[in-house]
Copies of this chain bind each other. A is one copy, B any other.
Amino acid sequence: MSQPPLNLRPVGTVESPLTDGASAPKQGDEGAPDAWLVFEPEVADALEGIRVGDEILVITWLDRAERDVLRVHPRGDASRPEQGVFSTRSPHRPNPLGLHRVEVAAIEGARVLVRNLEALDGTPIVDVKPVLSQSVDER
């Protein structure tokens, strides 16, 4: 990692009832709550075209993760053999990026309500993309 750092700028923040990493679900489809994506006013124009009902990919910066972890027991289960973090969804990884597929439930200006987001309250948002699929890129 001798190259210079690349600077991400938060474009928003997660507002969620989830505040405790230990109790957070491992994946959004395992009982995660709805959450608000609160975007910075400067990037509001970038949201245009996102509609209620869309599925989107949200990329977050998992600011409470560890960055010096290269191998983990999958899902924190010590009975399972360690794997490299690039083959797991562990938040602990050299660049703690979170990738979340969520459905848009409401939009209020630069605030977007989404279903089933496993990110903790206060997590910085760094990007949003349409879901990867054969149809999405034709939009």
Contacts and interface: CB of A to CB of B under 8 A. Distances in A.
A43 B70 CA distance: 7
Contact of A133 (B10, B128, B139): B139
Contact of A124 (B6, B28, B133): B6
A85 interface: yes
A84 B130 contact: no
B84 A45 contact: yes
A27 to B, nearest CB: 5
A7 interface: yes
A121 interface: no
A24 interface: no
Given A6-B7, A59-B99, A88-B130, 20 more contacts: A2-B40, A5-B7, A8-B95, A11-B95, A46-B85, A46-B86, A47-B86, A48-B84, A50-B87, A57-B99, A59-B59, A86-B129, A87-B139, A88-B139, A89-B136, A93-B127, A97-B126, A100-B136, A101-B135, A132-B136
